[in-house]
Structure 1
Amino acid sequence: MILSIELRGDTLHFTGMLNRDTLMLHSPFKLLNNVSGAVNFDFTALENIDTAGLAWLLQQLTRAKERGLSIALCNVPKQLLSLAEVTAVRPLLPISN
């Protein structure tokens, strides 16, 4: 499975797997250059994430903050929550649900 990230309105829809094998397809990540204000990251169709995916996500959150964007993570899968707990970065994730 590949990683697809599609911008629709103010929401980035993640589909597939966010891991070390798929991240290079979205590096550098340019979709944040096309948005302003509040942006949702919707993980409804995200099937898998690993620690590399979590690190990439944290990098994008930092980049968004530098640009003055407000990010909300929606439909966060349990796997992502578990990784965030184990790595002690859960408080850094702006989860909306």
Structure 2
Amino acid sequence: MSLFQLNDEGVLHIHGHLDRDTLAKNWWGMLSSTEQSTLIAKGQCVLDLSDVERIDSAGLAWLINAVRDGKRSQVEVTLANVPDKLLKLAKISDVDTLLPVN
């Protein structure tokens, strides 16, 4: 199974681990050109974290960069079903205000 799957509503379901071992490049670069076009047409994307098993500081940075990269492509990125551990990590790291949580 891939790290994530995009559905027709612009929801990106993320699976497994978001850590330094699984995140080779930014999320936008991991999407196909068709998926990128779909998100640009919608103007928004929800990153659904309900199936994330583990996340570390690299995963947190990846999510912050996803929000930034979305803005660059005129796509509003929000996070849904955010694990409590991620919220705590973001708060301790003083970056919780950078995460647009639904």
CA distance in 2, matches of 1:3, 1:86: 30
2:59 equivalent to 1:48: no
Greater strand share, structure number:
1
Would you tell me which structure has more helix in proportion to its own residues?
A: 2
* Matched pairs, number: 93
RMSD: 1.6
Distance 1:75 1:20 in 2: 21
TM-score normalized with structure 2 length: 0.83
Query: Does residue 5 of structure 1 match 2:36?
Result: no
Aligned match for 1:33, one of 36, 44, 49: 36
Task: Give yes or no for contact 1:3–1:17 (8 Å, CA) kept in 2.
Answer: no
Q: Secondary structure at the match of 1:21?
A: coil
Q: For residue 18 of structure 1, what is the aligned residue in structure 2? A: 18
Q: Which residue of 1 aligns with 2:88?
A: 82
CA separation of 1:67/1:83 partners in 2, compared to 1, >3 Å: closer, same or farther?
A: same
Q: Could you list the runs of 5+ residues in structure 1 that have no partner in the other structure?
A: none
